[in-house]
């Protein structure tokens, strides 16, 4: 049987997975390379390990939601990512869905900052 902390971490990871995809798409409305993307997300309170970020970027690109380009900057090659036109459409749809889910969850769990009643 899983310990309570293991179960929490498992459910937390599941909850974060979709949120991270949405956050990455939203932050890539402006072109960035991996390190600056990771910094921007951390500044917004979403820390993400490189081992999570780079596979996510590759997956989103393979799905046609991002485009990337290698360029040399500061004497180093860096891969820059930005939303594709399909990514912009998908982001708008996902934000709309996220807002609907968030509003529903706030009704179910109570107002933001309130502890849910059990």
Domains of the chain in sequence order: 19-109 (1.10.10.10)
Give the tens place of pLDDT for each residue, 10-39: 998 888 888 999 999 999 999 999 999 999
Region class of 83: left (phi > 0), else alpha (psi between -120 and 50), else beta: beta
Residues near 50 by Cβ (< 8 Å), separated by ≥ 6?
34, 38
How high is the pLDDT of residue 13? Answer: 86
Q: What is the mean pLDDT of the chain?
A: 91
Q: Are 90 and 65 in contact (CB under 8 A)?
A: yes
Give the tens place of pLDDT for each residue, 50-102: 999 999 999 999 999 999 999 998 889 999 999 999 999 999 999 999 999 99
Closest of 29, 19, 47 to residue 84, by C-alpha: 29
Residues near 84 by Cβ (< 8 Å), separated by ≥ 6?
64, 65, 66, 67
pTM over 0.75: yes
């Amino acid at each position: 049987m899983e310990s309570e902390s293991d179960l929490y971490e498992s459910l937390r990871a599941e909850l974060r997975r979709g949120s991270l995809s949405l956050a990455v798409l939203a932050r890539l409305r402006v072109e960035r390379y991996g390190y600056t993307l990771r910094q921007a997300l951390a500044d917004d309170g979403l820390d993400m390990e490189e081992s999570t970020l780079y596979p996510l970027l590759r997956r989103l690109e393979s799905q046609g939601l991002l485009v990337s380009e290698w360029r040399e900057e500061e004497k180093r090659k860096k891969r820059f990512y930005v939303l594709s036109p399909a990514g912009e459409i998908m982001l708008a749809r996902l934000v709309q869905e996220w807002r609907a889910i968030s509003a529903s969850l706030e009704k179910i769990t109570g107002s933001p900052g309130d502890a849910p009643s059990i």
